[in-house]
A and B are shown apart, each in its own frame.
Chain A
Amino acid sequence: MRVLVIEDDQETAAFLKRALKESGHVAEYAADGQAGLDLARTSAYDVLIVDRMLPKCDGLSVIKALRTEEIRTPALILSALGEVDDRVKGLRAGGDDYLTKPYAFSELLARIEALARRTSPEEGSTRFVVGDLVLDRLSHKVTRAGEAIVLQPREFRLLEYLMKHAGQVVTRTMLLENVWDYHFDPQTNVIDVHISRLRSKIDKSFGNPLLHTVRGAGYTIRDSAH
């Protein structure tokens, strides 16, 4: 995956470049808004990581400019401003996701991988399959090894989101934001409990567990038998 990091802090940029490389991605970086805009215009990237406050041309203007030129590369906005209002402004400017500083790298990685996947054809498919687990988005039915599993509406949406991002790491915050549409910290690890409930329904009576915990990051659903 080719990532463009537009970030004015040298150290942060260097850290991101290194960490992205270790995760198997190629990262390039621009130190100000104008340079970032030029790079994003001329070469193809899978994801942009844009700091909100940049010299010369701020992050939101960079994204706005790209969107008016019909360049739709998914963009993640990084910002020290963490209020819901700021997030809404960021998304209105054409950003696809918003992450508040300070952040965990695992969170950033999970989010850009999810963003890059958004452009893939799986997005619109009506059936998700992971191993012998099948989720039908039209009939709202879930089966594992042909056996029907009854899920609550919220559990269904949780599983749907996980399966849409099958093989990728999904963080707790991403789940809270995308499944519940809550952009605040619920204090207790409520997501973990929801996951363990879901797990008991889809994994418990089957030999091969599909829903895995990724330590320090979140969860992923994948068929580890293959």
Chain B
Amino acid sequence: MAINRFFSFLFLILLLPTMATAFEWHIVPDKSSLYFQAIQNNSPIKGEFKKFTGNIKFDQQALNKSHVDITVDTASVSTSFKDVEDALKTAEWFDAKAFPKATFIAKNFKKISDKDYEAHGQLTLRDKTLPLTLHFTFEKYTDNEAIVTGNATVNRTEFGVGQGEWKKTDGVKDPVEINFKIEAVK
């Protein structure tokens, strides 16, 4: 009996990692991207965060056990116009020195339709943490490969992105659109 129980226990122990990894996705950095777009002088200004990592545990069949945790390297901000890129790294904007990381953590997921989902989580940008809802769509979802595209809109001033005179939203408007694509493998 004791031996049987021991083997059952051993079996469970051995099974645990596979149960954990069955949920776990690894981002493919080269095929994933994180863009944002704001409005300045009534026209779009685009940028990108080149570096971000994430812990993604997600299963379409087990949303209540899913968990997403994305960390963005704020110093990896990039725009076509170097002056804008340099300005965005300064204390008035992302303050990449004081706040090198921005995070998004979500544990609450909602299925909207077959491929469309919502992630209700918390975005931490600079020293502010506020709720944020992401909309995302599965372009591909197989046992070991997933492609997701999504978007969200944040009001930059709520996070203090744009200090001093930049708090005014006539030059650079408040809403910023975020667009992302994540390719992940198991």
A and B from one assembly? no
Binding site for B on A (CB under 8 A): none
Binding site for A on B (CB under 8 A): none
